[in-house]
Amino acid sequence: MAFPETGILDNFNRADGSLGTNWTIAPWGAQPLEIISQEVAGTTPGSNAEYWNVSMPGPDCEVYVTVKTPLDIGQHLYLRARHTYLPHNGYYVAWVRLADTDNIQLNKLVNGALTTLDNEQIEMASNAKIGLEAIGNCIKVYHCPSGGSWTEIISVMDSSIQGAGYLAMFLGGTVGRVTDFGGGTCQLPAIIPDPADIILAAVARKGFVSAGEGRQVARLGLAQLLKEALVSTYAQAVYHYLLADFGGLSPVIVVASQGTQRQAYTAQGTRPTYSLNIHTFTRYAVPGTTWGEEDAELRMDVLERQIGAVLETSRGLTPYWKRLDYGEMSNCGDVVVGGLDYRHEVIPVIAEVF
C-alpha cells in the first residue's frame, strides 16, 4: 500500500494570518498557529496546535506534512491521527529537534496517558516530509527526505485506539515552518476490481456458473463473499491470489486454488470439483509493542470462526457454485511474508459445479 494515499488538505497558499475556519485551536491550552509567507508557524515560544475540523477521518487514516524550516533545538513537531479530546486519545508522531541527532517518536495517548511505542533517529531538514498512518491495528511512520521518496521507518501493532478521529498538527516555538498538510481516510486494499469483478458480475447476471467457467469463478466468488463479510471488521484485506508482501497489513485473507477433479457426469461433459484453500495471515509477536503471541492466536481463532460462519451461509446454491463443502481439518503454522512473521492457517474447501 503506497503512502500517502490521500491528497493535500491545505497548502496555506493565502494571506498571512490565522489558518482559517477549517482549523480549530487544540483545546488542551495550546496557542494558535499562523500563516507567514504561505507557510505555517507557531505564534508563541511554547505549544501551538490546531486540528483539521472539516471531518474526522478513519478509522483507517493517514496524515503528513512538509517541513520548510527545521524547528529550533528542543522543540517538537507533532502530527496526530485518530485524535479525540474527550477522552484525550490518539496516535501521534513527534519529530524532536535535539542538539545531536534528532529523534522521531511514535506515541499514543490513552485517556491522557502518554506511551512511546517506538522511535527512530533522523535529522530534521528543510523540505523533508513526515507522515503517520493507522490501518487497523498497524500504526506506521513514514519519512521522505528532500528530493527523495517515502520510506517506512516505524511499524508497530497496537489496538488501544479504534474509530475515527481528527488530524492535528503541533509546532513548538516560532522558528519552524511547515506546509502542505495532507491526509484523510484510507481505502483498504482488497480484491483487484478488474477483471475479477467483471467475471463475477457476468456470472451473477446469469444466476449460475457453468462447468466451462471453471475454478477461477469459484475462487473469485469465495473471495468476494469473504471481502463483503469480513473486511474492515475482522480483516484488513482479502485477496484472490497469494502475495509475496502484505505491506504490514494484518489480518489478511487469501483465497487460492489447490486442485481440480473432473468426474464424468454425462456423455457430453464432466462434473468439476474445485479444491480451494482459504489462507489467514495474522502478524505474530511484534517486539517493542503490546501485540504478542496470545493476541495473534486469539485473532486467528476469531478469523476461523467468522470464516466458518460465511461458509455455512454460502454452502448451498450460489452464482459461483452448486455446493460448497468445508469439513476437512485446517492446518496452522508460522510463515514469513515480506520479512514479517505471521501466524498462518489454511482452511480447505471444495466447490462443486455441475
In-domain check, residue 191: no
pLDDT mean over 26-36: 88
pLDDT mean over 77-86: 82
Please report the pLDDT score of residue 99 as a whole number. Answer: 86
User: Do 215 and 137 belong together in one domain?
Assistant: no
Q: Is residue 286 very low, low, confident or very high in pLDDT (cuts 50, 70, 90)?
A: low
In-domain check, residue 116: yes
Cα–Cα distances (Å) from 329 to 3, 113, 226, 241, 259, in that order, read 39, 45, 19, 22, 17
Q: Which domain holds residue 131?
A: 8-185
Higher pLDDT, 122 or 267: 122
Q: Domain count of the chain?
A: 2
**pLDDT tens column, 141-154:** 999 999 999 998 99
**pLDDT tens column, 249-275:** 888 999 998 888 877 655 555 677 889
Could you tell me the CATH number of the domain that includes residue 94?
2.60.120.560
Is residue 37 pLDDT above 90, yes or no?
Answer: yes
Could you tell me the CATH number of the domain that includes residue 203?
3.30.2000.30
pLDDT mean over 291-314: 88
In-domain check, residue 335: yes
User: Do 278 and 332 belong together in one domain?
Assistant: yes
**pLDDT tens column, 181-203:** 999 988 654 443 434 454 555 55
Is residue 116 pLDDT above 90, yes or no?
Answer: yes
Please report the pLDDT score of residue 1 as a whole number. Answer: 55
Q: Is residue 215 very low, low, confident or very high in pLDDT (cuts 50, 70, 90)?
A: confident
Higher pLDDT, 244 or 53: 53
In-domain check, residue 190: no
Please report the pLDDT score of residue 219 as a whole number. Answer: 86
User: Do 105 and 143 belong together in one domain?
Assistant: yes
Handedness of CA 104, 109, 114, 116 (dihedral sign): negative
Please report the pLDDT score of residue 112 as a whole number. Answer: 86
pLDDT mean over 2-25: 93
Rounded CA separation 100/235 (Å): 42
User: Do 121 and 203 belong together in one domain?
Assistant: no
For all residues of the chain together, what is the average pLDDT? 84
User: Do 170 and 248 belong together in one domain?
Assistant: no
Chain centroid, CA 337 distance in Å:
16
Is residue 244 pLDDT above 90, yes or no?
Answer: no
User: Do 174 and 225 belong together in one domain?
Assistant: no
Q: Is residue 14 very low, low, confident or very high in pLDDT (cuts 50, 70, 90)?
A: very high
User: Do 232 and 338 belong together in one domain?
Assistant: yes
In-domain check, residue 345: yes
Poorest-confidence range of 25-29, 258-262, 283-287, 346-350?
A: 283-287
